[in-house]
Amino acid sequence: MLSPERIVEIARQAANGRGYAIFADYNEDLRREICVERTLEPTQAGFYPFTIKSTLKSAGWRSEEGHPGRPARFFPPA
């Protein structure tokens, strides 16, 4: 599974480009873990956003809940 350091690193890379991170920024890494490395069961992947959110919040990131048409966003610490 993605380490907490990798979760924050992905969010930082995304935030450098547009100012915030979203769950879709993790798609490629999660796909690799499910399909190639087989370290994440597909049935567990649906719960992974909770892990991402809690990891980012504990690292000081602020979250803004999404609504229809706009995904949840995570903003880096000030």
Domains of the chain, residue spans: 4-75
Per DSSP (E only), the strands in 1-78 are: 62-64, 73-75
Q: Is the pTM of this model over 0.85?
A: yes
Residues in the chain: 78
Instruction: Yes or no: say if 63 and 53 are a contact pair by the CB < 8 Å rule.
Output: yes
Q: What is the pLDDT of residues 25-76, one digit of tens each?
A: 999 999 999 999 998 888 888 889 999 999 999 999 999 998 888 999 999 9
In order of 3, 28, 36, the CA distances from 8 in angstroms are 9, 15, 22
